[in-house]
Amino acid sequence: MLEWSCQLYFTKTRVSFAVFLQKLLQKIQLYQGFETVIFVRKSSDLRNKITAAGLEVVMTDLLPPEQADQEAQKIDLAALVNDLIAQAISARASDIHIEPQEDRVQVRFRIDGMLREVAALPWSLKFPLAARVKIMANLDIVEKRLPQDGRIKIRFAGRDIDLRVSTMATMFGEKVVIRIHDKSVQKHKIDQLGFSAEDLCRYRQLIKNSHGMILITGPTGSGKTTTLYATISELCSQEKNIVTIEDPVEYVLKGVNQTQVNPGAGITFAIGLRAILRQDPDVVMVGEIRDQETASIAVRAATTGQLVLSTMHTIDAPGALTRLIDMGVEPFLISSSVLCIVSQRLVRLCCEFCREAYEPAGDSPERMLLDAENGGAVCLYRSRGCEHCGYTGFKGRTGIFEILPLTAEIRRLVRKKASSDEIRKTATEQGMITFREDGIKKAMVGLTTLSEVMRVTYSDLI
């Protein structure tokens, strides 16, 4: 049995039992899996139970496994899963992680790129909870060893939302990850991505080219696909035939012909790209360049009259050029086809309700970095945390970017197979703003914190 100490408000004739408290008790029952009993206590008794961290929970020993299974059967699993999904969407989470542990089921939300634990459910729910999600995603509930992928479509608060479900066996049961695609909050306009005014103008000029290749690079979760979709949305018109090959199609774009990779049917990026080139395209989007064959076809398409957009996993813009060479693409083809490389990261935005300015100490890493990069500028911002941001200090994310146009000198370096360090040195001498510098500028105007910029650009600092 789980005992929660809750204060009720008395009148002369009755006890007022608020509706919100009834709902709270129902959620306690769902999340903890224990019988919930109300105890009316004196205020003096309650004060001894309440700590600075909030409401203290007093729990008896865990039930034996056979009794735990019986208790699990009493829980409305459909309501529990629906509530988790609703909470995640309301919290702007991108992913729900349901993770069986040795003695409990841990539930975490990824919000603004960071995982946060939101619930610890009874261990007895590990099988029924995974089964419920698998039923919703039309997966095989009997198969518990092999990974499975599925999809759920829901409507929440009048919005269409796609849920991508992935399951995987672990030591203590099946781990379930639910990726949330809320179409209503996606930024599909390039002026909403976080480009500086100078970079935005430069990028818009580059995508006006009728042929050539533009590559978006960065690690997983850095917003590359969002930038691709925003670029396609900018280019979309009745006069252009835009065709994509993606894995998978994440968002449906009006007026765009979208195709999905299907290895089971023999449709790979390379095969799909070859088919697209026979469809008289003006603009081609390849979800990701992963191998030499796809890279070679994409580069040749860019030299024969199509504008090709794609992504790669590299840590910076110069690294994408050397990566193409390492894949076996001829340097002269790269130098003649690539228009620019855009490398990006995502940083969390300071909460505008609790943001405050401060001056970093003279011996702090922030001050030393500012002295090195900006000649000693000292005004920075941080957030205390408040109810508007869930007491994290951050709400939302924006991009930090570096755009590397292939000038005549950069093309010459590519043809001679120069290292990424040589290319970076020349690019910065020609005025390229690195994503670290872009991040520092955003930190100095209060959009983010310097520690956040250092966190996401760590590999660029070493």
Q: By the 8 A CB rule, do 423 and 413 touch?
A: yes
340 and 196 belong to one structural domain: yes
The reported pLDDT for the residue numbered 48 is: 40
- The whole-angstrom separation of Cα 317 and Cα 68 is 54
- Inform me whether the pLDDT recorded for 37 exceeds 90: no
The reported pLDDT for the residue numbered 377 is: 53
Q: How confident is the model at residue 158 (pLDDT cuts 50, 70, 90)?
A: confident
Q: Is residue 452 part of a domain?
A: yes
The reported pLDDT for the residue numbered 458 is: 76
- The whole-angstrom separation of Cα 203 and Cα 206 is 5
Task: Name beta bridge partners: 55.
Answer: 50
Q: 242-246 and 355-358: which strand pairing?
A: unpaired
Q: Tell me the CA end-to-end span of the chain in Å, nearest whole number.
A: 53
- Give pLDDT tens digits for 382-438: 999 999 998 999 999 999 999 999 999 999 999 999 999 999 999 999 999 999 999
Question: Among candidates 348, 334, 302, which has minimal Cα distance to 450?
Answer: 348
Q: What Cα–Cα distance (Å) separates residue 277 from each residue in 209, 273, 297?
A: 18, 6, 9
User: Which of 37, 61, 85 is the endpoint of a domain?
Assistant: 61
How much is the average pLDDT of 176-185? 88
How much is the average pLDDT of 192-221? 95
- Inform me whether the pLDDT recorded for 17 exceeds 80: no
- CATH of residue 134: 3.30.450.90
Q: Is residue 268 part of a domain?
A: no
Other Cβ atoms less than 10 A from the Cβ of 452: the count is: 26
- Inform me whether the pLDDT recorded for 4 exceeds 60: no
- Inform me whether the pLDDT recorded for 13 exceeds 80: no
Residues 273-308 as b or e (16 or more Cβ within 10 Å = b):
beebbeeebbbbbbbbbbeebbbbbbbbbbeeebbb
Q: How confident is the model at residue 39 (pLDDT cuts 50, 70, 90)?
A: low
Structural domain including 295 reads 186-242+275-461
How much is the average pLDDT of 145-174? 93
149 and 113 belong to one structural domain: yes
- Give pLDDT tens digits for 343-353: 999 999 999 99
- Inform me whether the pLDDT recorded for 62 exceeds 50: no
The reported pLDDT for the residue numbered 172 is: 94
Q: Is residue 120 part of a domain?
A: yes
Q: Is residue 252 part of a domain?
A: no
pTM (predicted TM-score)? 0.79
Residues 363-380 as b or e (16 or more Cβ within 10 Å = b):
eeebbebbeeeeeeeeeb
130 and 32 belong to one structural domain: no
User: In the chain, how many domains are there?
Assistant: 3
How much is the average pLDDT of 176-181? 96
Phi/psi at 294 (nearest 5 deg)?
A: -65, -40
- Give pLDDT tens digits for 314-340: 999 999 999 999 999 999 999 999 999
Mean pLDDT, rounded, of the chain: 84
The reported pLDDT for the residue numbered 129 is: 94
- Inform me whether the pLDDT recorded for 56 exceeds 70: no
Lowest mean pLDDT among 52-56, 59-63, 80-84, 130-134: 52-56
DSSP string, 230-259: HHHHHH--TT--EEEEESS--S--TT-EEE
